[in-house]
Each structure stands twice: as C-alpha cells, then as structure tokens.
Structure 1
Amino acid sequence: MDFGEEPDGGSDRQKRKTRYHRHTPRQIQQLESMFKECPHPDEKQRMQLSREVGLDPRQIKFWFQNRRTQMKAQHERADNCFLRAENDKIRCENIAMREALKNVMCPNCGAPPISEDSYFDEQKLRMENARLKEELDRVSGLTSKYLGRPITQLPSIQPLSISSLDLSVGGLGSPSVGPSLDLDLLTGGSSNMPFSFPTAISDMEKPIMAEMATAAMDELVRLAQSDEPLWVKQSDGREVLSLDAYDSLFPKPGNQFRAPDIRVEATKDSALVFMNAVSLVDMFLDSSKWIEFFPSIISKTRTIDILANGMAGRSGSLLLMYEELHVLSPVVPTREFCFLRYCRQIEQGLWAIADVSVDLSREIQFSTPPSTRRLPSGCLIQEIPNGYSKITWVEHMEIEDKALVHLLYRELVISGAAFGAQRWLATLQRTCERFACLMTVANSPRDIGGVTPEGKRSMMKLSQKMVNNFCASLSASQMHRWTALSGASDEGVRVTVHRSSEPGQPSGVVLSAATSIWLPVSCERVFNFLKDERSQWDVLSSGNSVQEVTSIATGSHPGNCISLLRGLNASQNSMLILQESCADASGSLVIYSPIEFNYIDIVMSGQDPMNIPLQPSSGFTILPDGRVGGPAGGPSTSSNPMGSSYGSLLTVAFQILVSSLPSAKLNVESVSTVNNLISTTVQQIKAALNCPSG
C-alpha cells in the first residue's frame, strides 16, 4: 500500500522513493511513546504527531491501526495460553477423579461402595465436569473475538468402556479354538471414528492450510496434464511416476532424504464415466456420498471441518477430512489419512479436486505420521456432452510399512495397484453405471421378473445397504481387530466380533469370520463360478439347485446384477436370497444375504427399504494377485477385464448373528461352526475349480 501518494501526483521517482520508505528508529520511538499514552489518537493529535516525526497523517493513522492489531493478537495469545493451562488442569483433575473412583473399595465387603457422596458419585462428576467445560468455553469465547473461536477445547466426556464379550471355553471343547482367543467387542459401525478430532480449526491455522491446498492444487494440475518422462507406462498398461523426473520438476527438501523403508506409490489413469461433472464434484465434497461410491475402498470417512465454502458450495471449497482405506481382506492393514480437500473450477466445464495430507498432532491425539502421507493427489474432471465426464486420476503416497505386507497380497500392494489410480477409476466407472441404472425407468434386456421402476430402485437401495455392511465387516483397522484361530485349518481363518446397531439390521452380537487364499485361476473364471454355480459351493443348499426369481442389471458387464434367488430346498421355502454381483478392472464381488418372503412385497412395491431387517451379509471378494504373465494370464478385454493377472486372490467371508441379546456371551460352538463353514466352502470351491487342496 502506498501511504505517501500525493493527491496531485508527482514524479515516478518520488513515488517509488515514498513507497519504499521505512520509519527511522527515532520515528518508531516517538510513535511508541505516543501509543502508550493514547492508542486511539484523534485527527488533531495525528496532525501534530505528523509534524513532529515527519510522516504523513495517513501513515500515522495506519501505523496506529497496525500497532493496535498487534497488541490485540499478543493479548489473545497470552489469554489462550492461560486457557490452555486451565483446560489441562481440569482435564487432569477429571482423570484423577476417574482413577480415584475406580480404586475406591468398601472396607467391609471389598466392593465399590454405594454412596451419595458427590465426590464419588460418577453422575455428579460428569455434571460438574460439563458445567466447568461450559464456563471455560464462555470465558474463552469472550477473550477470543479476534480469533473467532477458542484454540483449545476440552475433550468430550468419554463413556464408560463396554466390557468385552467373554469367550466361554467350558462345555464342548474344540481343538480349533483355544482359551487364548482374543475376541474383543467393538463398538461397530462405519461411522465410529477411532480417534478424537477437533471441532474446528483456528482462524490462525486456516491461512496456512489454504496455502498448502493451493500449492497442492498447482502440483496436481501439472501432474495430471503431464506425460512422459514424468509418467512411465508399465508393461501392464499402468502409468507410474518417475521419481527422478518428479524430484527435478518439484524440488522439495525431503525428496533427497527418503528413508530406505519409505515406499512411494504414484500412479495415473484416465477414463470416461457416465455422470456429469457437477454431480461428481458434489460427491467428492460430501463424505457420506464419498463412501457410498467407494465402499470397497473406503471403510471410514468424515469431514472434520469446512475451512472455506466455495461458490455454490463448490469452486473454492476447502475441507479438512479423514478417511480410512482398505482392501477387502482381514490380512491387509488399512491406511489412514487426515487431509485437505480443495475444489477449484479451472475453466468452464473443467474441475479439479486436490488432496494433501496434513499433520494435526499439535491439536489432537491422532495425526498422520509424516512417513505415511498423501502427497498432492486427486483428479481433473472434464465435462463431456451426453452426460459423460473424462476423469484423470492421480494417486501419490509415501508409505512406511510398519507391519509386513501379507505374502498373498505383497505383489498387489507393493506394485501400487491395491490403492492406485486404476482401482479408484474402475470402481468409479462401475458405481456410476449402477447409479445410472437406478435412475433409468426402462428395463434392461437382461432383467428378469418384470420389476417396476419403483421396485427396481427399492431393490437397488436394499442391496446397496447389504454391500455396505459386507465391505465394512472386512475392514482390518485398529478398531476392527481380527484374531487367527490357532490350529483352525490350513486356510488361516480369522474372526472378529462386533455389536450390530445399524438401522434396518437385527441388533445383537455378530460374529464375522474370513479367510484369504490364492487360486491359480483367472479372476473372471472364479467370479463366474461363484455367481452362477451356487449349488456347488453353498454348504447350506446341500447340493440343491437355485432358481433365479428376479434379476436386474446394474452395469454393462454381464455379471453386474442384483438377483433374488430361491433355493429348491424344503427347509428354505420361507426365505429368499438377495445377491449382488459386480466386476470391474480392479476386482469383483459376490455378496448375499437371506431375506424373508413377507419383506419382498414391500421391496417390489417401491417402498423405502431402509427399515427392512437384513441378516448380516456374507460373500466373496476376488482380486488379481498382482503378478503378470503367468499361466492364468491373458489380455485384458471388456469381457475379461481381470484377465491379465497370473491368478486370483479370493476372500471368503461369513457373518452370523450369534445372539440378539447385547449382553450375550460368545461360545466355542459358534466359532467352531463358522470355522467349519468357511473350511468346507473353500474345499468345495477348490474341488470345483480343479485347484490343489493343500
């Protein structure tokens, strides 16, 4: 800003000289002295001071404004340091009260005493702690007008810990399960976050995050619009980042000092998807839609804070988000990221979504480790006529594998295919096709049963709920621990337990069991067998054939459909089986769940199916093994999108509602039953596909 510009102008030399004028120490000393006496001088005082120090009255005015702002910021920092200390003090007192409450014992009977003493009354402690929190927030709000909100917040009162389900080892013993089995009861549900997040980000941090997001956006656009030598095409058609070219184009301090155990995964892919650009942008900016589109890749997600609302909620939007990524197998650890998502409309019909990891360890318990982070990633979305969009997707991560990647999935993960751009885009293409089928009124030639458009939508929504439940059940996160059954079988069956409380699902205790195996058979062959030959692998069908009552197509691939199946078995006459199968270039799924006859009329009439109780879903995931050119390989085509893989990785997963009572205890018989069910299913699949049983 030019403080010294004259109304009638002047020479360019004089303007430049005035523009770069710096106050002398004597001038600053006189200004500071006046500021101590009068921080808000009037016009007469500013005129007198300007004559004394030799400065323009406007310069005097702006200097005092800046000085008052600096003083206010200093006071705010001091006040917030005091509030932080008070916050920590109350937190420590709260913890001490909880610990004291746990250790208090009655001197007569040895049990916790029943007392009305307010100090040991947990409910009163909670109320008192809540009152103190409200008082602190009120005082903090009064002293934080400049920052907009308090920097620190008291942690929320934690609920009482829920005791784990006990594994009863009495009665009928089983050699496959020992008393050391650790089956912790988890809180369950994809909405539960394993970490505590801040309610908001301070105004002082927002400019820093905005600068990070802008830099990430610029880098993403350059990455997405570049080809060789920055991107190198592999023999399997994937585009992989050249680290030497990247370090040369984007020099950063840490690039030359990557630790030897840090692995860089960076891939790029482009494809057409059947959805308009604005709808895709809205999906990226809505965490609930985000996980709805990618349940097989995202196990948890949440918008922590909205740092900026863009035009119409899109261009210029900046979100702070959390996500947990998974491969649908209990043996592949999840990846967790806290990141900024920035949306910008580059030009008419062209959008960009940029993601970059952010470290929040200073404010909250959770932070993305610096060695496990998402570097500038995201996608360009180009609007194309006829409802299509061209997507260019870039995934760029630095990963430190603290836990060894399971041998079965090592090639898939290390190659970058497990979490790469190709998997995201293939899943997006299939999901967009599914949503297009949901909105289409006309039936597909592949549809069976003459379902009305309303019944079709209701059936798709019910199946989507089933798919989401199945994908969430296979997460291998910190909050979803799996326990290997010692001596169970050669297949390495793993189990976990959680409480089901989702709407439209039977409430109670659910036992999940899964195993992952390698088959020297193409993914397409395994998928077709599991989809069409149910009588050969379904233990419960006892070898009886299955009739397809209704079927609706959900995509261009012939295997993408939702079906209602009826087992020709006298014991199953009151039940139908809801099944969804889907395949794309990244893998395939076959998921099913029993449903009672009396609920089918509700679905077919087009009513909202979200309150229809579905039994816990079971099924299969099929992934390429990541190896190329083996005996099972072949060129990848539209009818055989997974044909280039050496073999396939099959995960067999079952869920059983053990009890509808939340306080029920898990017994050995339930674990033994599901273990035998998985082992028998795997044996039958191997026998039918002529695979070695060892």
Structure 2
Amino acid sequence: MNKVKFWFQNRRTQLKTQTERYENSILKQENEQLKVEILAMKEAVKKLVCSICGGKATIPDKSIQEHKLLIENARLKEDLNNMTNRMMGKSSVPVEARPMTGFNTPIQRNAYLEQASNAMEELLKLGTVNAPLWIKNTEGGGETLNFEEYVRFFSPCLGPKPAGYVSEATRASGMISMTCATLVEALMNSQLWRDMFVGMIGSSSTMEVISKGIEGSRNGALQLMKAEIQIVSSLVPVRVVKFVRFAKQRAEGVWIVVDLSIDYGMKGRLTRRCPSGCILQDMKNGFSKVTWIEHTEYDEQLLPQQYRRLVRSGVGFGAQRWISALLRHCEGLKYTMSPTLNQHLFLGTKRNLKCLAQRMKSIFCAGVCLSGGGQWDLISHAPGKPRIMTRKCISGVGEPLRMIACATISVWIAAKHRHLFDLLLTKQLRCVWDVICHGIANETMVHFPLGQDEISRNCISILKSNETTSDMTGSLIVYTTMDFPTVTLVVNGGDTSSDAFFPSGLCIVPSYNDNGECGSMVTVGHQILLPDLGTSYLTIETVSMIHELMSRTILGIQEIVRHSQQ
C-alpha cells in the first residue's frame, strides 16, 4: 500500500516538474521573442526623426514622467488647433519648421528635455567606456576621443557636423574635496559656476529654469544657460555658447551634469557644445571623484595658427583644463577656510585675499578677452603691435570718473611654459620684465599659499598685490598696485569691494609642434588709469607710452629666457 502511495507521489512530482520545465521553456521563448521585438523597436526609434526638434526620437526617461499629463494635454490642444485651422482654411506651420528658440509650450519643453536625456546617456557611455574609444593624450594630460570609434557607436545628438568645423573631445578625472551635492548646486548656479572657474568663464547667466528638480533637490533640474568661455589671449575669440544644462542623480551618491547646445545652426554661432559635462561619485571623507568630458565642434578658420594645435589637443578648452581649475578652486577653499592651515593669517584676512585675487583675475581676463559685457572702444590694433582699447571707469554713484586703457599682445617665446613661469617668478629677475615694479623693492609683505604642491606655485602675495596660478594647461600671473591704507584694510579683514583695481598680468600656455612642446605663447596685458582727457581718444604721446610699456615687458621676458639658455 505504501509503495502505491509513494509511486503516485513520485508520479505527481514528475508531472509537476515536467510541467514547470515546459512552462519555463515557453517563457524563455517568449522572452527571446520580446528581446528581438525590443531591439527592432529600438532600431526603429533610432531611425525616427522627432517632429518637434528635428533630432532622433527616443523613449522618454523616468524624469519626464511627471510632465506626461501636461504634455499629453498640450499635444491634444495642438491637434485641436491644427484641425480647427484646416477646417477654417487657415495655413498651419508644421511643428518641425518652428525655430527652437524658447520654451513657450510644454511640447518645446519636452523636446529639450528629451534632447538633454539623450545627451546624458551619451555622456554616461563616454564616461564609462575606455580603450579603444579613448586614447591617452600626450599634450596636456587626460585622454582624447577616438573619433573613428565614436562614429561607429554613437549617432550625433546635434546632427551632422557643419562644413569647415573640426571636433575636439577630451576626458580627464580627479579627486576633489567637495561632495557631489555641493558641486551640483554650484554648477546649476550661474554665479557660483563662474566664480568656480574664474578666468575661464568670462560671463554666465541662467536664461530660464525649465525644471527646478524633484522633491527640493537638483535631481531632474533642467535650465537654459548662456556663457562666454575663453582662453586668456587677445588672438583667440571667446566662445559664446547657449545650452541646456541637465542634472540627474543616477544612483545613491552618483550624479551626472550634462550640457548640450540648443542654438546650433543659428547665424553667428561659431561653436556648438556636443554632450559635455561631468560624472560625479561621492567618496569617503567628503571627497568626490569627478570624470569630466568636453566635446565641442567649432570653426577653426577663426583661430590663428599659433593656437590651433593647442585648442585641437584640448589643452585650450578641454577637460584637463576644467579639472585642473576645479582642483585649484577646491584646494584654495580648503586653505582659505581651514583653521589649521595658514595660521599666521586671520580668517578674515584669508577671505579678503581670496576675494581680491578673484576680482583681479576676473578684471584682467575681461580686459584681455573683451568678455563680461564691458563697453570697449578700439584705439589701435595693427599686426605685431599691441591692441589698445579704452573704456570709461564708472564711480560708485554711476557717473564717469576716468578713462582706462587696456593694452594686450600675444607673442611666442622659446621656452617651455613651466620653465618660463618659474623664471618670471624669480624675485631677482622680476624687475627685468615687470616695468611697474622697476626700481621698487620686491619684498613679500604677505604670502598666502593656496596649495601644498610647491611645484604648482599657486598663491596670493602682497608685493603690490599678486596672484599666481599654474597647471599643465597653462600659467597665470596677475598683479596690481595698492596703496598702504588699502593693504592695511586687506590684512585687517576690511571690505575692499568698493576699491578700484586695474590689474596687469601674463598668461602663458604651451605651444606644440610634431615633436611636442616647443615653446610658449605669452599674452601680456596692462590696464592703465589715464588722466581725465574728456574723450575716449588717446593722444599720440599716450599711445607711444603704452607701446613702450608693452615693448619693455616683452623684451625683458626675452632677455630672461636668453640668459637662462646660455
């Protein structure tokens, strides 16, 4: 009896097992079939053209779901309007023919949201895939994109590259002493972003906030921005870009911030920003790992030959420059705010010195690059001669006070940029090239290091007032004269925001040929407060004096280099 019972139990178990196996095989077949269908649908979607933006159509991202009802409602209204127009005999402009210049309708907003989501997916892939997609960059560090591999796996978010444009794409990584959330907040705030990359960004603004994010965070934040991105040289045009910036939290402690041009193809736009931005990952002790990617397409014909290789390699505008500036900013904050570092200076003094240096650098770079919205009048600009501009200096009550002249010139010097930077900072040689301090004792009253790397020489000093910064992408020396009461005010932590400064300085970037670094491009800039002439025009004597000032600076630099090579 027990044998019969066990036989039935075993038989039932066998039948159950066979049934489960059969059902599993059916499910596997259905699963495979679904995979094939999904792949086919994805391929079909890739080939579709979005009727709104003209770009490729994509499946909406999760961050778009909150807009779904609003978008559907707007789409129905659009269909109703089109049907009404047709019935009444009115012409209807097709959606794809409308210029993408605003966010007037939810459909337009959704179009940009989808474009930004596509850009973010591309940025994520570019940030995680290594060789052969990325090649080690021998000029300036980081990595350079292998465009042959890129075109095999990616469909351009902005469509075909315009005729005559060239591509530049680089990637670099670094560890910074800042959390992901703090960095994302700074990147989404145009003023904080500009302050973080002072000298690189001439001006920045948030034109429109499309989405503030969800649940009080920056997750899903999308906004329209405009910026002037620059190399400190009078020969290199400032890159004016208009783009959407999209921030999203991909996982716990992992954020992505991506930029994408939206004014590409518009007349006068000579640069377009392909998916660019950073992938952020929180680490221990308040640090973050940052992977920065810069991908742009630009009209190279506007660049002088001396700077073309620098820009195409990514040293001029590439990822390594952004990472280096970010590292320098974070290290400067640490040395400014830490109670244990630079203990010989009061906290108020350190803050004052940092703010003063930021202002000096910003004013100097704006004068050289003509960025930041200042109204300059051209006085003279001949090949091989300094460019001289003037503008009105406005007092605190908004009335014209005096005229400021800004003279700048860029020349090639036969010395590698780090070697030249070290020579120019040698105290005994300063009076050879710095005509302002000629005959003045060059003693350091206050020295404020902004990093522990002795090689970098990043610091603020009060000789007059002097800031130096350097990394593998270039070096900068900015200085201005200060009277003793102002120095006392700075050291005692007083407010100097209303004091006027007219900084001068040098920017040094590496120059490359087929054999590597072959010298430096040096940009010299001087800002001079002129006598009250009552006009923006300069006398012949004043122009001659400015030419003499610039000539003595260049000849002094060349003399230092010549003696160092003997």
Tell me the residue number matched to 1:546: 442
Residue from 387, 397, 408 that aligns with 1:514: 408
CA distance in 1, matches of 2:114, 2:131: 28
| Equivalent position SS for 1:206 | helix
CA-to-partner distance for each residue in 1:98-155, whole Å, 9 max, x for gaps? Answer: xxxxxxxxxxxxxxxxxxxxxxxxxxxxxxxxxxxxxxxxxxxxxxxxxxxxx99xxx
Tell me the residue number matched to 1:281: 184
Q: Please say if 1:345 is aligned against 2:249.
A: yes
Tell me the residue number matched to 2:459: 561
Q: Would the alpha carbon gap of residues 622 and 243 (structure 1) be closer, same or farther in structure 2, given more than 3 Å must change?
A: same
CA-to-partner distance for each residue in 1:435-489, whole Å, 9 max, x for gaps? Answer: 2212112343xx8xx32122111121122111111111111569768665448xx
Per-residue deviation, 1:354 = 0.7
Q: Please say if 1:395 is aligned against 2:294.
A: yes
Q: Please say if 1:586 is aligned against 2:477.
A: no
CA distance in 1, matches of 2:417, 2:249: 39
Counterpart of 1:471, as a letter, is C
Tell me the residue number matched to 1:595: 482
Q: Do 2:204 and 2:228's aligned partners in 1 also have CA atoms closer than 8 Å?
A: yes
CA-to-partner distance for each residue in 1:229-248, whole Å, 9 max, x for gaps? Answer: 21122444542112221111
Q: Do 2:380 and 2:389's aligned partners in 1 also have CA atoms closer than 8 Å?
A: no
Q: Please say if 1:657 is aligned against 2:529.
A: yes
Tell me the residue number matched to 1:110: none
CA distance in 2, matches of 1:672, 1:225: 56
CA distance in 2, matches of 1:219, 1:541: 52
Q: Structure 1 stretch 326-335 or stretch 229-238: which is displaced more?
A: 229-238
CA-to-partner distance for each residue in 1:476-516, whole Å, 9 max, x for gaps? Answer: 569768665448xxx53112222334869995321111111
Per-residue deviation, 1:616 = 0.9
Q: Please say if 1:618 is aligned against 2:504.
A: yes
Per-residue deviation, 1:264 = 0.9
Q: Would the alpha carbon gap of residues 557 and 474 (structure 1) be closer, same or farther in structure 2, given more than 3 Å must change?
A: farther
Q: Please say if 1:334 is aligned against 2:238.
A: yes
CA distance in 1, matches of 2:74, 2:553: 74
Per-residue deviation, 1:419 = 1.0
Residue from 301, 308, 311 that aligns with 1:413: 311
| Equivalent position SS for 1:540 | coil
User: Where do residues 143-182 of structure 1 align in structure 2 (5 Å cutoff)?
Assistant: none
CA distance in 2, matches of 1:216, 1:502: 45
Q: Would the alpha carbon gap of residues 556 and 76 (structure 1) be closer, same or farther in structure 2, given more than 3 Å must change?
A: farther
Counterpart of 1:495, as a letter, is I
CA distance in 2, matches of 1:205, 1:594: 52
| Equivalent position SS for 2:518 | coil
Q: Do 1:217 and 1:376's aligned partners in 2 also have CA atoms closer than 8 Å?
A: yes
User: Where do residues 135-150 of structure 1 align in structure 2 (5 Å cutoff)?
Assistant: none
CA distance in 2, matches of 1:206, 1:564: 50
Counterpart of 1:298, as a letter, is I
Q: Do 2:224 and 2:244's aligned partners in 1 also have CA atoms closer than 8 Å?
A: yes
CA distance in 2, matches of 1:340, 1:413: 23
C-alpha RMSD of matched pairs (Å): 3.3
Q: Would the alpha carbon gap of residues 319 and 548 (structure 1) be closer, same or farther in structure 2, given more than 3 Å must change?
A: same
Count residues with an aligned counterpart.
474
Q: Do 1:483 and 1:495's aligned partners in 2 also have CA atoms closer than 8 Å?
A: yes
Tell me the residue number matched to 2:560: 688
Q: Structure 1 stretch 477-486 or stretch 217-226: which is displaced more?
A: 477-486
| Equivalent position SS for 2:482 | strand
| Equivalent position SS for 2:512 | coil
| Equivalent position SS for 2:390 | strand
Residue from 433, 437, 442 that aligns with 1:537: 433
Q: Please say if 1:525 is aligned against 2:419.
A: yes
The two structures have a TM-score, normalised by structure 2, of 0.76
Q: Would the alpha carbon gap of residues 360 and 646 (structure 1) be closer, same or farther in structure 2, given more than 3 Å must change?
A: closer
Per-residue deviation, 1:528 = 2.0
CA-to-partner distance for each residue in 1:201-222, whole Å, 9 max, x for gaps? Answer: 4433111111111111111101
Counterpart of 2:511, as a letter, is D
Residue from 271, 281, 292 that aligns with 1:372: 271
Per-residue deviation, 1:412 = 0.8
CA distance in 2, matches of 1:276, 1:75: 52
Tell me the residue number matched to 1:298: 201
Tell me the residue number matched to 2:347: 453
CA-to-partner distance for each residue in 1:366-415, whole Å, 9 max, x for gaps? Answer: 7674x731111111011111222111111111112342x22322221232
Q: Do 2:512 and 2:518's aligned partners in 1 also have CA atoms closer than 8 Å?
A: yes
Unaligned stretches of 5+ residues in structure 1: 1-64, 83-150, 153-196, 566-576, 631-644
Q: Would the alpha carbon gap of residues 593 and 248 (structure 1) be closer, same or farther in structure 2, given more than 3 Å must change?
A: same
| Equivalent position SS for 1:328 | coil
Q: Would the alpha carbon gap of residues 67 and 249 (structure 1) be closer, same or farther in structure 2, given more than 3 Å must change?
A: closer
Per-residue deviation, 1:74 = 5.1
Q: Please say if 1:205 is aligned against 2:108.
A: yes
Q: Would the alpha carbon gap of residues 500 and 267 (structure 1) be closer, same or farther in structure 2, given more than 3 Å must change?
A: same
Counterpart of 2:487, as a letter, is I
| Equivalent position SS for 1:666 | coil
CA distance in 1, matches of 2:240, 2:365: 17
Q: Do 2:142 and 2:319's aligned partners in 1 also have CA atoms closer than 8 Å?
A: no
CA-to-partner distance for each residue in 1:157-204, whole Å, 9 max, x for gaps? Answer: xxxxxxxxxxxxxxxxxxxxxxxxxxxxxxxxxxxxxxxx98964433
CA-to-partner distance for each residue in 1:523-570, whole Å, 9 max, x for gaps? Answer: 2222122223322222233344311111111123331111111xxxxx
Unaligned stretches of 5+ residues in structure 2: 1-72, 91-97
Q: Would the alpha carbon gap of residues 252 and 473 (structure 1) be closer, same or farther in structure 2, given more than 3 Å must change?
A: closer
CA distance in 1, matches of 2:125, 2:173: 15
Per-residue deviation, 1:660 = 5.6
CA distance in 1, matches of 2:275, 2:291: 14
Counterpart of 1:345, as a letter, is Q
Counterpart of 1:683, as a letter, is L
Q: Please say if 1:670 is aligned against 2:557.
A: no
Based on CA coordinates, which of the two structures has the bigger radius of gyration? Answer: 1
Per-residue deviation, 1:295 = 2.1
Per-residue deviation, 1:289 = 1.0
Q: Would the alpha carbon gap of residues 76 and 322 (structure 1) be closer, same or farther in structure 2, given more than 3 Å must change?
A: farther
| Equivalent position SS for 2:445 | strand
Per-residue deviation, 1:667 = 2.3
Counterpart of 2:278, as a letter, is C
Residue from 336, 347, 362 that aligns with 1:468: 362
CA-to-partner distance for each residue in 1:21-64, whole Å, 9 max, x for gaps? Answer: xxxxxxxxxxxxxxxxxxxxxxxxxxxxxxxxxxxxxxxxxxxx
Counterpart of 2:276, as a letter, is S
Per-residue deviation, 1:669 = 2.3
Q: Please say if 1:493 is aligned against 2:386.
A: yes
Q: Do 2:243 and 2:273's aligned partners in 1 also have CA atoms closer than 8 Å?
A: yes
Q: Would the alpha carbon gap of residues 235 and 551 (structure 1) be closer, same or farther in structure 2, given more than 3 Å must change?
A: closer
CA distance in 2, matches of 1:71, 1:348: 41
Q: Would the alpha carbon gap of residues 607 and 424 (structure 1) be closer, same or farther in structure 2, given more than 3 Å must change?
A: same
| Equivalent position SS for 1:437 | helix
CA distance in 2, matches of 1:67, 1:282: 33
Q: Would the alpha carbon gap of residues 400 and 343 (structure 1) be closer, same or farther in structure 2, given more than 3 Å must change?
A: same
CA distance in 2, matches of 1:249, 1:392: 20
Counterpart of 1:356, as a letter, is L
Q: Do 1:454 and 1:605's aligned partners in 2 also have CA atoms closer than 8 Å?
A: yes
The two structures have a TM-score, normalised by structure 1, of 0.63
Counterpart of 2:424, as a letter, is L
